[in-house]
Chain A
Amino acid sequence: DSGVTQTPKHLITATGQRVTLRCSPRSGDLSVYWYQQSLDQGLQFLIQYYNGEERAKGNILERFSAQQFPDLHSELNLSSLELGDSALYFCASSVKVWAPNTQYFGPGTRLTVL
């Protein structure tokens, strides 16, 4: 158990819909990262927040957005969903924001878009 929690574990929805994935970091970790893992793309970094502020952006689509709240939990919002958005979404957290920022990953949310 990494100490990072993610909800829900599974999510099934239809194309065009909007969903919200939630992540609670390890106690004391200020930095939160979101990743997408699909079969054909591997693990792709989406976005990073540190203490409520966006710090880095990766391959995140404009239809996706995230935020980190004052209690440090984070939410990833996915809108206008397409079939290709079906994937595992992982949240990770770390104490440090700069290398070596060892990240601890949650169990993931499996999103299926029908």
Chain B
Amino acid sequence: DAKTTQPNSMESNEEEPVHLPCNHSTISGTDYIHWYRQLPSQGPEYVIHGLTSNVNNRMASLAIAEDRKSSTLILHRATLRDAAVYYCILNTGNQFYFGTGTSLTVIP
């Protein structure tokens, strides 16, 4: 069974914010939440990670629900280069558990 669930696909207009949701209802107290993205024909690329508090970096923001059973990746201004498959991952111990990912389409 998948440890994370995400919508299969989402669309966004260019230069608008994008909120990518993820459910991880079976998360345990020491599991980290990671987000990666994969562009066509490339390996997954690190975006952001967090444990309990919201996190910001130059690529995105990560909002984690108070009960930690869900999280949202926020891209503040989508560009065409952000079109990719976004994976929400539980990092348990030394392992990554990938979900099926959300394919993001950015509309010019």
Contact = CB atoms under 8 A, between A and B. Distances in A.
B94 A97 contact: yes
A33 to B, nearest CB: 8
A56 to B, nearest CB: 5
A100 B91 contact: yes
A43 B96 CA distance: 10
A28 to B, nearest CB: 16
Interface stretch (A13-21, A63-71, A76-84, A103-111): A103-111
Contact of A98 (B43, B45, B94): B94
Instruction: Tell me the dominant secondary structure on chain B's binding face.
Output: strand
Interface in B15-42: 30-32, 34, 36, 42
Interface residues of B, number: 23
A100 B89 CA distance: 11
Contacts of B92: 99
A105 B95 contact: no
A100 B49 contact: yes
Contacts of A101: 91, 94
Contact of A56 (B87, B95, B100): B95
A99 B30 CA distance: 8
Contact of B98 (A43, A55, A102): A43
Nearest to B43: A105
Interface in A32-85: 33, 42-43, 45, 48, 55-56, 58
